[in-house]
Amino acid sequence: MMCGVPLPRAAGTCTRCPTECRLSYSDAPWQYTVSLHVITDANGLPLGQARNEQFGTNNLVERLGTGLADLISQRLPQVQDEVDKSIMSTRALLAQLPRPPFTDTRSERTTWV
């Protein structure tokens, strides 16, 4: 955290770059924005006109949602394995149960199959 501003953290997000914090006084509730000041293209050549790309969020619910989504996607293969094992176990147990009775509606007799 720099200047009280938590930088975005997520899989694939790198914050190891020069960071500039602009602070100003305001009577309004505390807020912040995080943006990238892009001055070169992917090949390192100057863009001519720099651009600011805003990203991240200062909304706690959105930040938590992103973090939880990352955790869920990391754990998904394990969860799928556990679900598959549970389904196979349940099927094996169901196969051991006696078959339900069959009712012949024409004769009103119940017979075991």
What residue spans define the domains of the chain?
A: 8-22+29-61+68-96
Put simply, whether the predicted model's pTM sits higher than 0.75 gets the answer no
Sign for the CA dihedral angle at 69, 73, 79, 80 comes to: positive
The tens digit of pLDDT for each residue in 23-72 reads 788 888 877 777 778 888 888 899 889 888 776 655 555 655 666 666 66
pLDDT higher at 68 or 76: 76
Q: What is the pLDDT of residue 59?
A: 58
pLDDT band at 86 (very low <50, low <70, confident <90, very high): confident
C-alpha 9, offset from chain centre: 13
98 pLDDT more than 60: yes
Report the length, in residues, of the chain. Answer: 113
**Contact yes or no for 99/112 (Cβ under 8 A):** yes
Rounded Cα gap, residues 38 and 72, in angstroms? 32
Q: What is the pLDDT of residue 39?
A: 87
- The 10 Å Cβ neighbour count of residue 64 is 10
